[in-house]
Amino acid sequence: MTDQALKPRAGEAAAPPPTAPITTGDRRRILAVDATRGAALLGMIAVHSLNDTDALGQPTWSTTIFSGRAAAAFAVLTGVTIAFLTGRRRVRASAALPTMTALLIRALAIAAIGFALGYTNAATATVILPYYAVMLLLTIPLVFLPTWLVAFTGIAVTGGMPVLTHLWLPRLTGPTQPNLTFGWLFTHPLESLTQLSITGMYPALTWMAYLCAGIVIGRLNLARLRTAIALLATGTVFAVAAAVTASRLSQLALEHIWPAQYASTLDEYETLDMLNLGGDGTAPTSTWWWLAIDSPHTGTPLDLLGTTGTAVALLGIMLLVARIARPTALRWLVAAVQTPLGAAGSITLTLYTLHTVFMSSSYDTYTPTTGFLVQLGGVLFLGLCVRATIGKGPLEALVTALTRAGRRWATPPSRRPPRAQPHRTSANAPVAGQPGGEPATIPVSSEASR
């Protein structure tokens, strides 16, 4: 492969040199990405803390707004993180071993944290980190592909994996362990892999649609105004198209779903819950018409398209509002909202771990609304405190240190960059987007919600 073939293609942003200072556009980009992740974190906390249904059995506002969408936002932003960590461009063959080693170690570290959290109460939330670890492993070949091929892969996954899952599910054993633990992994390795990849709450193979979208977005120049506008417009079109299509097909789908009820493993009430509240990662296989719905966490093409759209549109909005300079009052208002969201969004691995432990502990004695407000205030406060002091969450720092050590170990001594003090922003964050860099404002991983 020639050097010419390895140059960034059209639409693939080249990473800045390691010594490049952070520009105003870079700061806006970093803050917008973190704020988007922070908003998704709050959505996850709302879904886990508040009731799913009201007194009449209808979905609550938190379920309607955040269920499935918070999960998709985290997954898409995980793809953006991968793009940032690989220099926002196709990885060169010469950097293959260090890159693969870094992603492998990152995946193993996140998996270890996830399996440790698996011992918490599964009734509060299904721990997503082991699923994310598998997704990170699946992204390894993607970072060597050109952007157009990553986008094509995402489209193929969106349309193809729901069909394959529909064919595979009757032949596979369903998940029997809501939260995977070290003990369960060692005693049931094949079942655990099947759950993480296909049958579980966050099936990694299906969710690669989100990761592909995030990698493509992360390779764009997010500091440009037209990029933000394009993300908002594209995301809105995806979300609206999915919702309109599902609405048009709903009556016809129900006419096939209810007659096929006898062949389903769900009873009547469970079927209603599936339609109104969403599923547990996959849709029933009693009829192909289940793939025409867009209920959260059913893994159908319309579910994937719609939730990807809302995640992309949210990032576009955050990028746009971060550019506001006039009037001053509006700029201050945007900063007052995005700064705490961004601070929380930069340490979501640590905050998600604390949230999961708290929800499973004896300290969570609050009513749903009070518990949500307590966690909301705590998350924003801790995020601001960490950003103002150490600059990085402890779990983020641990995983970043392990990843950097692995990358340096896998890099030949002659190709290792000199150890130098990185440029820092006022938020104590190192340069984002460096080739092989580990931007502190882009967290290791994040959790999603139903």
Would the pLDDT of 226 be above 80? yes
Distance of CA 149 to the CA centre of its chain: 20
Say how many Å lie between the first and final Cα of the chain, rounded. 44
Average pLDDT on 205-216 reads: 97
- Which region holds residue 281: left if phi is over 0, alpha if psi is between -120 and 50, else beta? left
Average pLDDT on 94-115 reads: 95
Residue 381 Cα distances to 7, 200, 240, angstroms = 43, 33, 35
Residue 346: pLDDT band with limits 50, 70, 90: very high
The count of C-alpha atoms lying within 13 angstroms of the C-alpha of 323, restricted to the half-sphere facing its C-beta, is 17
Q: What pLDDT is recorded for position 396?
A: 95
Q: What pLDDT is recorded for position 175?
A: 87
Q: What pLDDT is recorded for position 43?
A: 94
CA dist., res. 16 & res. 22, Å (int): 10
Would the pLDDT of 309 be above 80? yes
Tokens encoding 378:
């705590």
CA dist., res. 24 & res. 325, Å (int): 12
pLDDT tens figures, 392-450: 999 999 999 999 999 999 888 777 666 655 444 443 443 333 333 344 333 334 333 44
Q: What pLDDT is recorded for position 264?
A: 78
Q: What pLDDT is recorded for position 55?
A: 85
Cβ neighbours of residue 215 closer than 8 Å, sequence gap 6 or more: 79, 80, 82, 83, 139, 142, 143, 147, 150
Tokens 């079942």, located at residue: 191
SS3 53: strand
Residue 208 Cα distances to 15, 33, 134, 346, angstroms = 24, 19, 10, 22
Cβ neighbours of residue 226 closer than 8 Å, sequence gap 6 or more: none
SS3 444: coil
Q: What pLDDT is recorded for position 368?
A: 93
Peptide bond into 327 cis (omega under 30): yes
Average pLDDT on 167-173 reads: 93
Are 274 and 303 within 8 A, CB to CB? no
SS3 88: coil
Average pLDDT on 312-321 reads: 96
Would the pLDDT of 292 be above 50? yes
Higher-pLDDT residue of 35 and 21 is: 35
Residue 77: pLDDT band with limits 50, 70, 90: very high
Q: What pLDDT is recorded for position 413?
A: 79
Cβ neighbours of residue 7 closer than 8 Å, sequence gap 6 or more: none
Tokens 């998350």, located at residue: 379
Are 201 and 130 within 8 A, CB to CB? no
54-68, 235-249, 408-422, 426-440, range with greatest mean pLDDT = 235-249
CA dist., res. 91 & res. 83, Å (int): 10
Q: What pLDDT is recorded for position 424?
A: 45
Would the pLDDT of 14 be above 60? no
CA dist., res. 14 & res. 5, Å (int): 14
Average pLDDT on 92-116 reads: 95
Would the pLDDT of 326 be above 90? no
Tokens encoding 12:
């693939």
For 59, phi then psi, to 5°, come to -60, 135
Are 161 and 22 within 8 A, CB to CB? no
Residue 144: pLDDT band with limits 50, 70, 90: very high
CA dist., res. 367 & res. 280, Å (int): 25
Q: Which helix (H) or strand (E) holds 163?
A: helix 147-168
- What whole-number percentage of the chain has pLDDT above 90? 71
The count of C-alpha atoms lying within 13 angstroms of the C-alpha of 252, restricted to the half-sphere facing its C-beta, is 9
- What whole-number percentage of the chain has pLDDT above 70? 86
Predicted TM-score of the model (pTM)? 0.87
Q: What pLDDT is recorded for position 369?
A: 94
* CA-based torsion, 208, 95, 223, 333: positive or negative: positive
Stated length of the chain = 450
Tell me what the pLDDT averaged over the chain comes to.
86
